[in-house]
Chain A
Amino acid sequence: QVQLQESGPGLVKPSETLSLTCTVSGGSISSYYWSWIRQPAGKGLEWIGRIYTSGSTNYNPSLKSRVTMSVDTSKNQFSLKLSSVTAADTAVYYCARAPVVAAPYWYFDLWGRGTLVTVSS
């Protein structure tokens, strides 16, 4: 079955750029939307952005100025870059799949296990 796996540094210094990759295994990255969602410890979920295999993106307006997402269909991977990080960006980061359905935006039917990223000097 399809599985998602996040990878990247677990520790990032303040003001630097957080970089994560999600690898899709057991199926094709095509024909779905792919998203990043984060969750600070003990808190709720925040959608960061989404990318389609064409490369088209949508970002959370509150993070838009700092977020860049990309996709590499040859590797079945998509990536997140979040610039100018602060301690407030410390969270578990999940990658997730969103089905392409007739809806304004997206819900998420498959999630990775998540990776903790800590912002600290």
Chain B
Amino acid sequence: DIQMTQSPSTLSASVGDRVTITCRASQSISSWLAWYQQKPGKAPKLLIYKASSLESGVPSRFSGSGSGTEFTLTISSLQPDDFATYYCQQYNSYGTFGPGTKVDIK
């Protein structure tokens, strides 16, 4: 089984900050990684697929990078709507999600 980890588990930031979240896989998953945003009581929303491809309609302040075992999600300038929990998901072998990173207000 491929295990996913994320760091940090919680991140406190202010509007306008540049935010980076890291996701690591227990073995190489090439670029088969997606990122989701989830707000309380809502379903996850796809942001990024294939490590760096921006889903249609997602603001360009979101970007993804990485390959192999280490990946990052970057929000270039945090907006009020971005306070949420972010999950990575590998789809190289079935589909395993990371434990999540909560971005809250500093």
Determine if B44 and A111 form an interchain contact, defined as CB atoms under 8 angstroms apart: yes
Kindly list chain A residues whose C-beta atoms are within 8 Å of the C-beta of B97.
44-47
Determine if B95 and A47 form an interchain contact, defined as CB atoms under 8 angstroms apart: yes
The dominant DSSP class at the B interface is loop
Kindly list chain A residues whose C-beta atoms are within 8 Å of the C-beta of B36.
108
**A14: Cβ under 8 A from any B Cβ:** no
Determine if A60 and B94 form an interchain contact, defined as CB atoms under 8 angstroms apart: yes
Instruction: Choose from A107, A109, A111 the contact partner of B95 (Cβ within 8 Å).
Output: A107
The dominant DSSP class at the A interface is loop
Among the interface residues A44, A46, A58, A94, which one has the most CB atoms of the partner chain B within 10 A?
Answer: A44
For this complex, into which size category does the number of interface residues on chain B fall?
20 to 34
**B63: Cβ under 8 A from any A Cβ:** no
Kindly list chain A residues whose C-beta atoms are within 8 Å of the C-beta of B45.
111
**Contact A108:B32 (CB < 8 A) given known A45-B97, A60-B94:** no
Measuring CB to CB, which residues of chain B are less than 8 angstroms from any residue of chain A? Answer: 1, 32, 34, 36, 42-46, 49-50, 55, 87, 89, 91-100
Given A96-B43, A108-B34, A108-B36, 17 more A-B residue pairs with CB atoms under 8 Å apart are A35-B95, A44-B98, A45-B44, A47-B96, A47-B97, A58-B94, A61-B1, A104-B32, A104-B91, A105-B94, A106-B95, A107-B89, A108-B46, A108-B89, A109-B49, A110-B46, A111-B44
